[in-house]
């Protein structure tokens, strides 16, 4: 018998995992959404509106706590779901750099990072429907290339750095901004897949395929 000729409908982004566990990503980042899609086939996006402010204390702990706050803020909107939240910071000389407020601040950040090594830290938090939390912080080391001022200024003027911690994305400009990454590459993009997979599995979320960082 002939079919209707229509392509099959894609799965709903709010569908539950086959074992009944619904997953929510508490982030509006398209980069995190794409990366999470490598681990699970179905999830819902509910961005967190929490201000990205770190509490006093060791940065690795503060970033994980901030991610947990984001997850718990979204949890009431999906009380039966597992919530995944993340927060990424660029750290140099012990100082965490957030997202630049404007192109001028992006230029200043990139000039400070240029030719030097810094750390990229991503705090992760997973909250299940019972309120149990699993957290982790992934740290990678990145060396920014000695880019000329003209390139930095042109990149900043494009607006691309304004939604990125430290004023850059490792994949932008075909990677010419970065000389080296030591550690998880997906961490530098914003969601370390290895650590994320371990936390989700702990919360009972079924993964699509095994993955590396």
Domains of the chain: 23-202 (3.90.950.10)
pLDDT band (50, 70, 90) for residue 16: very low
Residue 136 burial (CB count, 10 A): 19
Determine which one of 19, 42, 87, 93 is catalytic. 87
What would the mean pLDDT of 21-32 be, rounded to a whole number?
91
State residue 175's pLDDT score: 85
Q: Supply the mean pLDDT for the chain.
A: 87
What would the mean pLDDT of 197-211 be, rounded to a whole number?
86
Whether the predicted pLDDT of 40 surpasses 60: yes
What would the mean pLDDT of 109-124 be, rounded to a whole number?
95
- Report CA-CA distances (Å) from 169 to 82, 120, 143, 177, 181: 28, 11, 12, 8, 12
**DSSP readout, 135-147?**
EEEEEEEEEE---
Whether the predicted pLDDT of 76 surpasses 80: yes
Q: Which helix (H) or strand (E) is 36 found in, with range?
A: helix 30-36
State residue 21's pLDDT score: 63
Q: What does the alpha-carbon distance between residue 143 and residue 31 come to, in Å, rounded to a whole number?
A: 21
pLDDT digit string (tens) for 183-202?
Answer: 999 999 999 999 999 999 99
Whether the predicted pLDDT of 212 surpasses 80: no
Q: What is the dihedral of CA 150, 88, 139, 134, to 10 degrees?
A: -170
Interior angle at CA 22, CA 21 and CA 25, nearest 5 = 130
Whether the predicted pLDDT of 67 surpasses 50: yes
State residue 209's pLDDT score: 67
Whether the predicted pLDDT of 86 surpasses 80: yes
Whether the predicted pLDDT of 4 surpasses 60: no
Q: What does the alpha-carbon distance between residue 20 and residue 39 come to, in Å, rounded to a whole number?
A: 16
Whether the predicted pLDDT of 210 surpasses 70: no
pTM summary value: 0.83
pLDDT digit string (tens) for 125-144?
Answer: 999 999 999 999 999 999 99
What would the mean pLDDT of 82-102 be, rounded to a whole number?
93
Residue 164, φ and ψ in degrees, nearest 5: -130, 130
Q: How many residues does this entry show for the chain? A: 213
pLDDT band (50, 70, 90) for residue 213: low
State residue 10's pLDDT score: 33
Whether the predicted pLDDT of 5 surpasses 90: no
- Report CA-CA distances (Å) from 23 to 9, 106, 107, 131, 165: 20, 34, 37, 14, 25
Active site residue 87: yes
What would you report as the CA-atom Rg of the chain, rounded to the nearest whole angstrom? 18
Q: What is the DSSP letter of 104?
A: H
């Amino acid at each position: 018998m002939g079919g209707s000729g229509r392509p099959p409908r894609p799965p709903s982004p709010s569908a539950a995992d086959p074992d009944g566990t619904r997953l929510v990503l508490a982030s509006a980042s398209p980069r995190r959404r794409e990366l999470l899609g490598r681990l699970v086939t179905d999830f819902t996006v509910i961005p967190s509106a929490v201000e990205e402010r770190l509490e006093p204390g060791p940065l690795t702990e503060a970033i994980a706590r901030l991610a947990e706050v984001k997850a718990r803020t979204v949890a009431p909107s999906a009380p039966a779901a597992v919530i995944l939240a993340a927060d990424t910071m660029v750290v140099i000389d012990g100082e965490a750099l957030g997202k630049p407020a404007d192109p001028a601040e992006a230029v200043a950040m990139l000039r400070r990072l240029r030719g030097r090594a810094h750390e990229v830290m991503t705090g992760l938090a997973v909250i299940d429907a019972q309120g149990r939390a699993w957290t982790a912080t992934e740290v990678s080391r990145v060396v920014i290339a000695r880019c000329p001022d003209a390139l930095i200024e042109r990149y900043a003027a494009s607006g691309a750095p304004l939604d990125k911690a430290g004023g850059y994305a490792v994949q932008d400009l075909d990677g010419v901004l970065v000389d080296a990454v030591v550690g998880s590459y997906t961490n530098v993009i914003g969601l370390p897949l290895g650590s994320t997979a371990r936390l989700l599995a702990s919360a009972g979320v079924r993964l699509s395929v095994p993955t590396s960082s």
